[in-house]
């Protein structure tokens, strides 16, 4: 059987080996090694097969000499003899059962053995029949409750997996709950936790931490949050509710003197925490959500900073806590000084309601209102980059439209700046489709009227990576094009980004001083964080834009900043941290492909 060897498939295979070893009561740490490798592969930012192509499998943390040899065999022949010998004698059905919540390797094996289920095909249906007939409760170590749990897990598996929330949605929901709780005087400190605090593009559940001396007061307040549909847990220190809209919200309380350890622990990530605990252990301590434990007792921490300091390193920003080198960097005092929202000096991707027959959606708000808002934010410049006119317009009509827009913006530059000290530069941009053949949807003559252009892909995403790379590079090959808009085209939850040879694109952009956009639009957040990090490593400049189609959307920029931070970006990597005086130089078309750096 031909199986695609993507990371998910490889991770699953390694998990299965770990489960098989567990049943065989192999060395505990050998099992953990396979589990860790499985997680590492699952979380890898590129396809492991590509790493293998480049002969650097052992660069993946958790993959050593032995596993590299096995994976090499897997990629060459499609199977691994060593794994096959580990699987020998075990019922294939047990690996199906691992997907059931509450069922691990031992339980899965026991169920297969006792119920006589061997084949993977139809295994779940057979298990369900047995459980419904009351046969599971009769098995040793099982009871009525575990049979019931099993049936529930079987039912849950049939339902589609719970969807993760987009970051913006989760953030705004959490803010509502935080504002509600913060009114309670018993709440001394309050913070979001987990992937929300780490600002990942999607968030599962919302977790909130509270420092308080009166946990009961806070918990009582929490479970009566308006919109609560069900209280799942109401304990002495924690609580869990489900909202009418379906989201699950956890609350964790801690006394102020130990709040730092709680915050750190539940912010994760899991891999980051494991790594920290290993470091604590080498120093003779044991790290947990309560603090650092020694024989003498537990040392508490009121804040995270002092906890990280006790472990011998400066505080690490939550966005970096994925165990992808941030702990090593912190130990060496080499953490990047991450970009912050107030470093941003302007926004070059705005869609106004300027009337014309456009190729895609128009904005909703008038230009002058957006300029006013930009000035309130404190921007030094902003650029209107509506979609290019529809190609059903004649070339003549197109040029007329763009000339009319240029004149409008010229007037606006005058009227908005005439009676004020605080000047704001308004730019005439355009977001232009890159057609499948790599051509821009606007003529050269029209391009001359612009201050700059954003080139983007808005249709025909299904292309081979090679063809897509050629398309993008051709689209960027014009002196007026300064930005590649939402570079991967992904739409979170609905559309994977297209694949392309990013190294080639990085190198082109670096040479030609073209900037990759970090689009802050909630469904996009594109470039994704892991590609931001690659771009930064490659010396490519980025620009964080809101892609606003309405006035209020200028406020979405912080989510783009979050993506940049997750990608280890510093102010120097982000072009719109430059003041207007410097940016204006960079916007001038380059001659002969030379770099201005």
Return residues touching DNA (CB under 7 A).
Answer: 22, 27, 29-30, 32-34, 36-37, 58, 61-68, 82, 100-108, 137, 140-147, 149, 235, 238, 270, 273-274, 277-278, 280-282, 286-290, 293, 331-332
Question: Is the CB of residue 557 less than 8 Å from the CB of residue 379?
Answer: no
Shortest reach from residue 229's CB to DNA, in Å: 20
Match 């940049």 to its residue by tokens: 564
- What are the distances in angstroms from CA 513 to CA 49, 296, 468, 583, 587? 31, 58, 20, 12, 9
Shortest reach from residue 411's CB to DNA, in Å: 56
Q: Which of 183, 173, 235, 181 is nearest to 205 (CA)?
A: 173
Distance between CA atoms of 520 and 238, rounded to whole angstroms? Answer: 34
* 233 or 459: CB nearest DNA: 233
Shortest reach from residue 145's CB to DNA, in Å: 4
Radius of gyration of the chain (CA): 28
* 289 or 353: CB nearest DNA: 289
User: Which residues make beta-bridge pairs with 346?
Assistant: 381
Shortest reach from residue 10's CB to DNA, in Å: 13
DSSP category for residue 162: P
Shortest reach from residue 104's CB to DNA, in Å: 2
Which own/partner contact pairs does 49-55 have at CB distance under 8 Å and 24+ positions apart? Answer: 49/5, 49/6, 49/75
Question: Is the CB of residue 31 less than 8 Å from the CB of residue 20?
Answer: no
* 26 or 120: CB nearest DNA: 26
Of the CA atoms within 13 Å of residue 378, those in its CB half-sphere come to 7
Shortest reach from residue 557's CB to DNA, in Å: 30
* 116 or 235: CB nearest DNA: 235
Shortest reach from residue 106's CB to DNA, in Å: 4
The DSSP annotation for 17-69 comes to HHHHHHHTT--HHHHHHHHHHHHHHHT-SS-HHHHHHTT-GGGSTT--HHHHH
* 86 or 583: CB nearest DNA: 86
* 108 or 441: CB nearest DNA: 108
* 331 or 550: CB nearest DNA: 331
DSSP category for residue 358: B
Helix (H, G, I), strand (E, B) or coil at 528: coil
């Amino acid at each position: 059987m031909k199986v695609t060897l993507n990371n998910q498939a490889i991770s699953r295979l390694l998990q299965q080996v770990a489960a098989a070893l567990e049943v065989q009561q192999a060395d505990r740490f050998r099992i953990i090694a396979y589990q860790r490798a499985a997680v590492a592969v699952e979380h890898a930012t590129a396809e492991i097969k590509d790493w293998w192509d480049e002969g650097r499998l052992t660069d993946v943390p958790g993959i050593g000499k032995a596993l590299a040899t096995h994976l090499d065999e897997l990629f060459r022949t499609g199977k691994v003899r060593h794994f096959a010998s580990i699987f020998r004698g075990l019922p294939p059905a047990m690996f199906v059962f691992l997907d059931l919540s509450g069922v691990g390797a031992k339980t899965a094996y026991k169920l297969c053995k006792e119920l006589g289920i061997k084949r993977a095909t139809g295994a779940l249906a057979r298990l369900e029949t047995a459980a419904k007939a009351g046969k599971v409760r009769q098995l040793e170590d099982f009871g009525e409750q575990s049979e019931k749990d099993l049936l529930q897990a079987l039912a849950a598996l049939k339902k589609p997996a719970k969807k993760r929330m987009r970051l913006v949605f989760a953030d705004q929901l959490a803010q509502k709950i935080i504002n509600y709780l913060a009114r309670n005087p018993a709440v001394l400190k309050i913070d979001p936790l987990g992937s929300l605090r780490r600002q990942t593009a999607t968030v599962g559940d919302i977790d909130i931490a509270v420092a308080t001396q009166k946990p009961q007061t806070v918990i009582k307040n929490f479970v009566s949050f308006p919109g609560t549909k069900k209280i799942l847990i109401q304990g002495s220190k924690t609580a869990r509710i489900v909202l009418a809209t379906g989201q699950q919200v956890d609350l964790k309380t801690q006394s102020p003197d130990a709040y730092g350890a709680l915050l750190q622990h539940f912010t994760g990530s899991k891999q980051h925490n494991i790594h920290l605990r290993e470091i604590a252990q080498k120093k003779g301590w044991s790290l947990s959500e309560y603090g650092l434990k020694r024989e003498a007792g537990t040392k508490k921490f009121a804040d995270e900073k002092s906890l990280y300091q006790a472990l011998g390193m400066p505080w690490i920003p939550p966005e970096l806590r994925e165990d992808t080198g941030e702990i090593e960097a912190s130990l060496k005092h080499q953490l990047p000084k991450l970009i912050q929202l107030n470093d941003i000096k302007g926004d070059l991707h705005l869609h106004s309601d300027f009337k014309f027959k456009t190729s895609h959606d128009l904005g909703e708000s008038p230009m002058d209102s957006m300029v006013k808002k930009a000035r309130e934010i404190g921007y030094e410049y902003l650029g209107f980059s509506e979609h290019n006119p529809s190609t059903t317009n004649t070339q003549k009509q197109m040029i007329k439209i763009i000339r009319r827009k240029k004149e409008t913006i010229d007037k606006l530059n005058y009227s908005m700046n005439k009676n004020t000290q605080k000047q704001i530069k308004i730019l005439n941009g355009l977001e232009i489709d890159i057609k499948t053949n790599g051509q821009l949807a606007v003529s050269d003559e029209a391009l001359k009227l612009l201050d700059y252009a954003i080139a983007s892909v808005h249709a025909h995403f299904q292309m081979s990576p090679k063809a897509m790379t050629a398309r993008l590079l051709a689209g960027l090959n014009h002196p007026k094009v300064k930005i590649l808009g939402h570079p991967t085209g992904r739409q979170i939850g609905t559309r994977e980004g297209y694949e392309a040879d990013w190294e080639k694109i990085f190198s082109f952009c670096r040479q030609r001083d073209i900037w990759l956009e970090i689009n802050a639009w909630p469904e996009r957040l594109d470039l994704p964080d892991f590609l931001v990090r690659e771009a930064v490593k490659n010396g490519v400049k980025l620009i964080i834009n809101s892609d606003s189609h309405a006035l209020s959307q200028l406020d979405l920029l912080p989510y783009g900043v979050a993506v940049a931070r997750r990608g280890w970006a510093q102010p120097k990597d982000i072009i719109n941290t430059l003041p207007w005086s410097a940016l204006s130089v960079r916007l001038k078309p380059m001659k002969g492909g030379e770099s201005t750096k």
